[in-house]
Amino acid sequence: MNISADLSLSQKAQYLRTLPAVRERCARVFDLAKQGKLQYFDYHADKEGVITEFCSGIIARDFGTNYDKVPPHGRISHCNIGRDRITPLLQQWTTSVGTKEACKRLVDLLVTSTLLDAGAGKDWAYTEQSTGERYSRSEGLAVCCLHMFTEGYFSSNLEQPHQVDAGALFKVTVDSMAKHMQVDATNPLVGLDGRTSLLINLSKALNTSPNFFGPDGRPGNMLDFLESESIVEGSIRKVPLAALWQVLIDGLNPVWPASRTTLAGVSLGDVWPCPALKPTASAEADDLVPFHKLTQWMTYSVIEAIETVMKWDIVGKEDMTGLPEYRNGGLLIDLGVVTLKPGVLPTDPVSLLPKAAASHPAVVEWRALTVIILDRIADNIRVKLGLTPDQLNLAQVLEGATWKGGREIAKQKRPETGGPPLDIESDGTVF
């Protein structure tokens, strides 16, 4: 079904920036995969049981049958690697400035941290000065960003270092970022320039939308907008997911590089052409596939903060999708559910892995398949464990099974790097 068939190009541009469009377009790619009609990947339905067993085993190992203890996918758990760093901060803030401002500060941190969370590469790590512990990849970036936050790097208010505001972000430089992120010749970070640009662009976005981010340009000020969009039922304040998505997809649109796909003059963000869809495309833009991975990652993280701290209920979370990134996608390749067709990508001479840019049609196919197959994996796990979506939701499956499983199987198969089975050329703004 082509939901956008009768839309104008400007309407299509808006549609492609919605969450339902992600599943709808990815499902088109998956349908081609079932028919063996993709250009780069083959799909093997008979291998889905292997992933179900693997992921169910991880949940059983880490949580037993305490399924309510499986945390949702979000940045908070990465900040807490090794020890809980967030709870003491929240307690300190709540005591000194109250619950809402405490939540605003946490949202400030999480928005910035998720923007900086594209893949760090295999050679970078962050050493926490207070403990001497060394953390790599996503958790390393999270702990690093947390310390940059508490040290006031993202704040222009000398009296209040624990905030993020447009004034401070506009002044970040590659050199200062490198210093705070401990980057040097022996500790290289993938996409440092791209990450720096994202923060500068974030400052512009925060200043451009005071209706979302207030006169001082703070991400956390979105709480005021969300409260205005909410209703109270009984004792529970309910906020539509659509309102939060509007803040992040529209309010933060200036963040993304101008080189991204555009339609009718609108920068679409994490949306890419998929040539495999061209033969069945009946109109312009029918071959475009949206993912909005970093925006969704940010959304998952902000939802956790708001629901945990404010006790508000975000309504409509079922529209969120599994994240099409290299851990979830790598799991599918490493366990054989999807396989790359022979000879369709060049091999990196160092890693000996197939290599492609994030915008390459092969990566677009891979990511689209990942979105739909993650839904199927979640359903299969729930059937196996006798659970409903309310008892084990997609965010929990991502955190407790697929993302973690993707990392673990990568470490087994590529112990030297622990990297994904497909070598992605990243600028730090997609993966």
Number of C-beta neighbours around residue 1 at 10 A: 6
**Angle at which helices 48-63 and 403-413 cross, to 10°:** 100
Considering the entire predicted model, what is its pTM? 0.95
Where does 181-292 have alpha helices with state H?
Answer: 192-208, 210-213, 222-228, 241-251
Question: Could you give the CA distance from residue 123 to residue 142 in angstroms, rounded to a whole number?
Answer: 16
- Which pLDDT belongs to residue 127? 98
C-beta of residue 292 within 8 angstroms of C-beta of residue 249: yes
Question: Could you give the CA distance from residue 101 to residue 94 in angstroms, rounded to a whole number?
Answer: 8
Q: Using one digit for the tens of pLDDT, what is the confidence trace for 208-262? A: 999 999 999 999 999 999 999 999 999 999 999 999 999 999 999 998 877 789 9
C-beta of residue 380 within 8 angstroms of C-beta of residue 52: yes
Longest alpha-carbon distance in the chain: 62
Question: Could you give the CA distance from residue 3 to residue 17 in angstroms, rounded to a whole number?
Answer: 14
User: Domain limits of the chain?
Assistant: 1-8+74-322, 38-72+324-431
Query: Please, how many CA atoms are within 13 Å of residue 2, restricted to the half-sphere of its CB?
Result: 15
Q: Using one digit for the tens of pLDDT, what is the confidence trace for 38-53? A: 999 999 999 999 999 9
C-beta of residue 251 within 8 angstroms of C-beta of residue 305: no
Question: Could you give the CA distance from residue 244 to residue 225 in angstroms, rounded to a whole number?
Answer: 9
Q: Using one digit for the tens of pLDDT, what is the confidence trace for 106-115? A: 999 999 999 9
**Angle at which helices 326-334 and 361-385 cross, to 10°:** 80
CA distances from 393 to 15, 152, 379, 401 (A): 25, 36, 9, 12
CA distances from 251 to 202, 205, 423 (A): 10, 6, 32
Q: Using one digit for the tens of pLDDT, what is the confidence trace for 247-283? A: 999 999 998 877 789 999 988 989 999 999 999 999 9
